[in-house]
């Protein structure tokens, strides 16, 4: 006796599908097969991924349901292999909740849905119907694309039967009568004669104008439709909702007459993707904190100080410098979303000039506060009230005590322990250099020379955070990739040198050097002069805003503002900067500061 068709359209569609079920445990496979046979049209089974791949290639099922951990070939490898054969077939993974790595990998493998073990029949039913819904919609859309060439009757059939958002426009962008019910539910009813860009973006003049410009280029039909459609917005945000947009050309007797716009509500998917990004960022932040807690806490204080100063800043150049410094410090401490927001603000400042707006500053403060809230308990036990003493320092004081030297002199030496070790700054720069190198796929070895120098806590407090620009540029611009270094006869591992030294009664000297490709200071100076800048010494071009050794702007560098920030802070502290560079041999930055006259 034929099985009665379910009333639900997705369940009914599921009942027509050929489904492949893959499970290595025989008992589980037998039990779940009974469940599936009552719901699908035809059920194929396989005991592992390798056998399933052979069945898939022979039978071409319309839906695949697979376990993850299996012998010979696991479920995610099976998904990857299937995607090479058929990028569209829905794949549903059944896995344990604890398998976080598998869930992350499933995104890359192109898995559509997953259900956790032990399997809840209701959740499995929902997942199967979602996959069936997608297949049903895709099949009906394909049917409608063919039917549209014959007349509007078939397209209306699609609009009446799908839960997706569909509307059509003429080549002038005016919205036509044919549209699905979700369009009105999501965006309201369009006014008579309304244009697509006014309907989708009523409150955003700039994006509305860009949308209109893209549509007009698409409607001109001078380039292939796919090329023009790829330039159109693919994501639309209205309030807290997010929608994906796709565009289809409607031809009548070979002539482009109308445009079909497909709208899909992806709010839940966007929220899921954001949650995954936030989790990865949280992990990166914690890793940075655990790797170097004191350096991390210093970086946090610097970032918070920069955010506060950006709100008070009245100089456009200073805003650019501080925003760029904040971006670098945030990225190297794991705060990738903060760095990305700073990068976006840099783009906006380049397009409009001026200072950060109140809305931008609020967004920056709120994002920083949100990220810090996630690690508040971890940083609550920061090392306040703890003094770090190097073993040689302690040994020297003990020796002086045994020699019964002057008590006042010894007390002065111990008082200096309240000062910060210069090596703390250098070690923090070392960690950041290594993280930049890992990001760029380069190999570096950092050499530190600190001479056990201690610094008054207020001395150069603005200089050290900006020095990361020099270190980052040394790794990003200066040193070569391993294969390039080997071809040049160099050690494949590049060397970065960080040094602090001071002669008795002399100035403090800070040096950053690399053994990379060197700088063409003459070419930089020529580029600066072409921009209209007055350059007395070739090395001055390094510190001008907008002059960079990179042609491409990245999250790490390329805007040509970081070095200017370093020099400005150096000069404000009464210091000088000198650059030495030898093509093919490397570059050395030497900063010199007068030692405060009130301290020994």
Of 380, 372, 381, the C-alpha closest to 282 is 372
User: Is 9-138 a CATH 3.40.50.2300 domain?
Assistant: yes
Mean pLDDT to the nearest integer, 4-20: 84
The predicted pLDDT at position 398 comes to: 75
Average the pLDDT over each of 101-115, 204-218, 493-507 and give the range with the smallest value: 101-115
Task: Return d(Cα 407, Cα 418) in angstroms, integer.
Answer: 18
The domain segmentation of the chain, as residue ranges, is 9-138, 149-186+195-265, 269-380, 420-593
Q: Is the pLDDT of residue 556 over 50?
A: no
Average the pLDDT over each of 150-159, 209-218, 360-369, 491-500 and give the range with the smallest value: 150-159
- 118 cis-preceded (ω within 30 degrees of 0): yes
Which residues, including other chains, have CB under 8 Å from residue 318's CB and lie 6 or more apart? 568
The total of other beta-carbon atoms located within 10 Å of residue 282's CB is 14
The CATH code belonging to domain 149-186+195-265 is 3.30.450
Mean pLDDT to the nearest integer, 16-27: 92
Q: Which residue has the tokens 């405060």?
A: 596
CA 151 to chain centre: 46
The predicted pLDDT at position 514 comes to: 94
Class of domain 269-380 as given by CATH: mainly alpha
The predicted pLDDT at position 112 comes to: 82
Q: Are 445 and 480 spatial neighbours (Cβ–Cβ below 8 Å)?
A: no
Instruction: From the options 3.30.565.10, 3.30.200.20, 1.10.760.10, 3.40.190.10, give the CATH code of 420-593.
Output: 3.30.565.10
Beta bridge partner(s), residue 247: 261
The average confidence (pLDDT) of the chain is 83
Task: Return d(Cα 591, Cα 429) in angstroms, integer.
Answer: 15
Distances, alpha carbon 383 to alpha carbons 207, 415, 518, in Å:
48, 19, 40
Beta bridge partner(s), residue 174: 195
The predicted pLDDT at position 69 comes to: 86
Average the pLDDT over each of 78-87, 105-114, 328-337 and give the range with the smallest value: 105-114
Q: Is the pLDDT of residue 1 over 50?
A: no
Mean pLDDT to the nearest integer, 467-480: 88
Between 299 and 28, residue with greater pLDDT: 28
The predicted pLDDT at position 555 comes to: 47
Q: Is the pLDDT of residue 509 over 90?
A: yes
Look up the pTM and report it. 0.48
Three-state secondary structure of 207-254: HHHHHHHHHHHHHHCCCCHHHHHHCCCCEEEECCEEEEEEEEEEEECC
Of 384, 492, 400, the C-alpha closest to 437 is 492
Q: Are 435 and 556 spatial neighbours (Cβ–Cβ below 8 Å)?
A: no
Edge-to-edge order in the sheet of strand 255-265: 175-179, 165-170, 255-265, 241-252, 235-238
pLDDT by residue (tens digit) across 570-583? 898 899 999 998 88
Q: Would you tell me the crossing angle of helices 562-572 and 463-473 to the nearest 10 degrees?
A: 140
Task: Return d(Cα 303, Cα 329) in angstroms, integer.
Answer: 7
Name the burial class of residue 414, with classes exposed (0-12), middle (13-18) and buried (19+) by CB atoms within 10 angstroms of its CB.
middle
Q: Would you tell me the crossing angle of helices 316-332 and 463-473 to the nearest 10 degrees?
A: 70
Q: Which residue has the tokens 């020379």?
A: 449
pLDDT by residue (tens digit) across 514-551? 999 988 877 777 777 777 777 777 777 777 766 655 54
The predicted pLDDT at position 61 comes to: 93
Q: Is the pLDDT of residue 510 over 60?
A: yes
Task: Return d(Cα 237, Cα 243) in angstroms, integer.
Answer: 6
The predicted pLDDT at position 575 comes to: 92
The predicted pLDDT at position 278 comes to: 86
Beta strands, E only, 107-234: 113-117, 165-170, 175-179
Q: Is the pLDDT of residue 483 over 80?
A: yes
Task: Return d(Cα 414, Cα 374) in angstroms, integer.
Answer: 38
The predicted pLDDT at position 559 comes to: 43
pLDDT by residue (tens digit) across 389-447? 666 766 777 777 777 777 666 766 666 666 778 888 888 888 888 888 888 889 999 99
Q: What is the CA radius of gyration of the chain?
A: 32
Task: Return d(Cα 71, Cα 50) in angstroms, integer.
Answer: 9
Residue 183 DSSP class: H
């Amino acid at each position: 006796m034929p099985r009665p068709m379910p009333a639900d359209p997705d369940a009914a569609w599921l009942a027509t599908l050929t489904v492949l079920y893959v499970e290595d445990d025989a008992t589980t496979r037998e039990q779940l097969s009974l469940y599936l046979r009552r719901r699908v049209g035809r059920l194929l089974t396989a005991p592992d991924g390798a056998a399933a791949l052979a069945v898939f290639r022979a039978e071409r099922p319309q839906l695949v349901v697979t376990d993850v951990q299996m012998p010979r070939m696991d479920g995610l490898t099976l998904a990857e292999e299937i995607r090479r054969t058929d990028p569209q077939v829905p794949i549903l993974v059944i896995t344990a909740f604890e398998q976080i790595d598998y869930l992350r990998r499933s995104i890359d493998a192109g898995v559509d849905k997953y259900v956790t073990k032990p399997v809840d029949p209701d959740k499995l039913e929902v997942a199967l119907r979602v996959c069936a819904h997608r297949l049903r919609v895709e099949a009906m859309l394909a049917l409608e694309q063919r039917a549209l060439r014959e007349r509007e009757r078939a397209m209306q059939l699609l609009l009446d039967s799908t839960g997706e958002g569909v509307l059509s426009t003429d080549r002038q962008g005016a919205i036509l009568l044919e549209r699905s019910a979700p369009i009105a539910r999501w965006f309201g009813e369009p006014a008579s004669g309304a244009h697509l860009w006014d309907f989708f973006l009523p409150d955003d003049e700039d994006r509305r104008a860009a949308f209109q410009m893209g549509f007009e280029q698409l409607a001109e039909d001078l380039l292939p439709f796919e090329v023009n459609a790829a330039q159109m917005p693919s994501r639309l945000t209205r309030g807290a909702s997010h929608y994906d947009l796709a565009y289809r050309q409607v031809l009548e007797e070979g002539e482009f007459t109308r445009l079909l716009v497909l709208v899909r509500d992806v709010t839940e998917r966007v929220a899921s993707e954001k949650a995954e990004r936030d989790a990865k960022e949280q992990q990166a932040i914690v890793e940075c904190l655990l790797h170097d807690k004191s350096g991390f806490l210093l970086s946090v204080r610097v970032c918070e100080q920069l955010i506060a100063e950006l709100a008070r800043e009245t100089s456009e150049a200073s805003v650019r410098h501080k925003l760029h410094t904040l971006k670098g410090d945030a990225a190297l401490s794991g705060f990738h979303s903060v760095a990305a927001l700073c990068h976006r603000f840099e783009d906006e400042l380049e397009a409009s000039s001026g200072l950060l707006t109140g809305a931008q500053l609020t967004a920056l403060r709120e994002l920083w506060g949100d990220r810090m809230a996630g690690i508040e308990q971890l940083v609550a036990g920061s090392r306040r009230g703890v003094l770090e003493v190097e073993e040689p320092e302690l040994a020297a004081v003990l020796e002086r005590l045994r020699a019964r030297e002057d008590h006042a002199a010894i007390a002065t030496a111990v008082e200096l322990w309240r000062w910060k070790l210069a090596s703390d700054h250098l070690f923090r720069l070392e960690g950041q250099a290594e993280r930049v190198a890992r990001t760029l796929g380069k190999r570096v070895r950092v050499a530190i020379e600190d001479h056990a120098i201690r610094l008054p806590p207020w001395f150069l407090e603005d200089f050290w955070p900006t020095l990361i620009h020099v270190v980052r540029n040394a790794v990003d611009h200066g040193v070569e990739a391993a294969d390039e270094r080997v071809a040049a006869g160099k050690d494949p591992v590049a060397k970065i040198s960080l040094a602090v030294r001071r002669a008795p009664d002399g100035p403090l000297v800070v040096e950053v050097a690399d053994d990379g490709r060197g700088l063409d200071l003459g070419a930089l100076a020529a580029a600066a002069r072409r921009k209209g800048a007055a350059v007395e010494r070739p090395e001055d071009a390094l510190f001008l805003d907008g002059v960079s050794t990179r042609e491409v702007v990245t999250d790490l560098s390329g805007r040509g503002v970081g070095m200017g920030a370093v020099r400005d802070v150096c000069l404000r502290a009464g210091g000088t900067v000198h650059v030495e560079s030898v093509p093919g041999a490397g570059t050395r930055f030497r900063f010199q500061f007068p030692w405060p006259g009130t301290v020994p």
